[in-house]
Amino acid sequence: MSIDSYLDSGFDDVEGWCSRRIVEIMGHFTEMSTAAGVIGGACEIGVHQGKFFLGLVNAVNGRQSLAIDIFDHQSLNIDHSGGGINDMLAGFKANVQKYAPYPENVSEIVKDSLALNPLDTAHILGRFGPFQLFSVDGGHMHQHLVNDYHFAENVTAPGGAIIIDDILNGGFPGVIEGVARLFLQGAPRFAPLLLGHNKLIMVGLSYHRRYLEDLHARLAAAYPDMTMWRTKFFGHDIISLV
């Protein structure tokens, strides 16, 4: 299974919320960061049935990857983001068997992300190494966003990406509030690189400038008809897909 075959044969079958184009863009991002010497697995907080996660796992060629979700403990889903189905963990595992290149390389942690602690961080870093791709799509209150971002920052390679979902979803304003809190009350080590398809891609500050030009060129070549603007977000130059 590769990212193209997942998009051809699995993507439409897996319940969830993300566009096909953003999965493709993560493929381009991963090629670019791999060329910069960054090699790692994928992690997502808030996988639901694995729609976006399996795109990331395919992008990193099936390397050791981690899914964190409360799964069937939906009483912990205090903002009701993406719940509402039975046997969530079983459904997720079935999709991993079908659509991950190496299903044995995918692990799950069944846990409220707000309960992740420094021992979890150390254990995850020791077992998986820094991730190349980390998606934040669990609880959508500002407290979740700030908590989950900081967790991601500690376990993601500086040349990798942290992807924030629902950045511009009016149904979940806690996400943009959380991002505002990160930048106005702190000094995140990752900077915004691309805004589009309801996601914000952030990369380690030291990689931001070179990735901005490189990714822009790659996407312009792959999608000549796609409109890409350059604008600023919290003081950083970004590519904005309009």
Ligand X SMILES: C[S@@+](CC[C@H](N)C(=O)[O-])C[C@H]1O[C@@H](n2cnc3c(N)ncnc32)[C@H](O)[C@@H]1O
> Which parts of this chain interact with ligand X (CB under 6 A)?
16-18, 45-48, 51-52, 69-70, 76-77, 81-83, 112-114, 137-139, 144
Residue 215 structure tokens: 């990714």
103, 96 contact by CB (below 8 A): yes
Question: Which residue's CB is nearer to ligand X, number 17 or number 183?
Answer: 17
Give min distance, CB of 69 to ligand X, in A.
4
**Cβ proximity to ligand X, 123 vs 210, nearer residue:** 123
CA nearest to 189, candidates 176, 202, 175, 174: 202
Q: Which residue, 24 or 69, has its beta carbon nearer to ligand X? A: 69
DSSP-derived pairing of the beta strands 199-204 and 131-136 = unpaired
In the chain, the DSSP E strands lie at 42-45, 65-69, 106-110, 131-136, 156-165, 190-196, 199-204, 228-233, 236-241
* Shortest distance in whole angstroms from residue 67 CB to ligand X: 10
Smallest distance, ligand X to C-beta of residue 242, A: 23
Measured CA to CA, the distance from residue 239 to residue 212 in angstroms comes to 7
Query: Cα separation of 32 and 6, whole Å?
Result: 20
**Which structure tokens are listed for 237?**
């130059």
- The minimum distance between CB 14 and ligand X, in angstroms, equals 8
The residue among 39 and 76 lying less far from ligand X, judged by its C-beta, is 76
Of 7 and 114, which has the nearer Cβ to ligand X?
114
Give the closest residue to 41 by CA, choosing from 127, 115, 112: 127
CA distance 86 to 106: 21
Q: How far is the CB of 74 from ligand X (least distance, A)?
A: 6
Nearer to ligand X among residue 54 and residue 212 (C-beta): 54
Give the nearest distance from C-beta 79 to ligand X in angstroms.
7
